[in-house]
Amino acid sequence: MENIIEIRSLKKCFEKHKILDDISADFEKGKIYGIIGRNGSGKTVLFKCICGLMHYDAGEILINGKKIGVDIDIAENVGAIIENPGFLPYYSGAANLKMLMGICGKKDKDRIYKCMKMTGLDPDDKKHVCKYSLGMRQRLGISQAIMDDPDILLLDEPMNGLDNKGVDEMRALFLQLKQQSKTILLSSHNREDIDLLCDVVYEMENGKMKRNR
């Protein structure tokens, strides 16, 4: 299988505190990878480095053969939800997604509607995002990640705030995306999510990342 993400000897420190210490891993197309680890073990930092939002100190990250920080500054073809999803508070969910899509130079209302429906939101709901519940905001974050139809998805604790039904729906959605040959990196503190969804599991501890399954 072809590797879509390659990480080689990646290092990242914050004031001598080694968060990522010589991490290497390959991620193949069409698989779901679980990243687990205790709070503060560096999962979010790893995701930010892969996107290009955070610079790393040494090593390299290749996305589709392009080196982050050298060939490209921000990863292309990657959808992500990292930490709290942030939106313009006084606009509806659909309006927020429309603006974000516009930044890519695209305009596709049908796609936005479809993605919102896929995550269980009503695209015609005129309610402002500031009035959304935590789970609705999270669903909108997931719609945002998938709407540009990226090949890679970086999902940092995507089930945050979702109810049981929501969790089931998202699990089904992620498996469906895997069928479409998307590569998903998923961090989660929920063992069931990891067991059910992931083909490969990595555990982060003391700056190292070792394969668990």
What is the size of the binding site for other proteins (CB under 8 A)? Answer: 31
Helix (H, G, I), strand (E, B) or coil at 19: strand
Closer to ligand ATP at the Cβ: 30 or 207? 207
152-156: strand order across its sheet:
78-81, 152-156, 183-187, 32-37, 200-205, 208-211
* Residue 14 structure tokens: 């914050």
Closer to ligand ATP at the Cβ: 14 or 90? 14
Stretch 41-60: interaction string toward ligand ATP, x if CB under 6 A? xxxxx---------------
- Residue 18: Cβ within 10 Å count: 15
Half-sphere exposure of 146 (CA within 13 A, CB side): 26
Euclidean distance between CA atoms 29 and 183, whole angstroms? 5
Residue of the chain from 39, 164, 179, 180 that contacts ligand ATP (CB under 6 A):
39
Binding to other proteins, residues 85-144 (CB under 8 A):
85-91, 99-100, 102-105, 130, 144
Closer to other proteins at the Cβ: 44 or 188? 44
Closer to ligand ATP at the Cβ: 42 or 166? 42
- Pairing label, strands 152-156, 78-81: parallel
Euclidean distance between CA atoms 63 and 118, whole angstroms? 27
Kindly list the residues in this chain that would bind ligand ATP in the complex (CB under 6 A).
Answer: 14, 19, 37, 39-45
| Contact set with other proteins (CB under 8 A) | 48, 51-55, 72-75, 78, 80, 82-91, 99-100, 102-105, 130, 144, 148
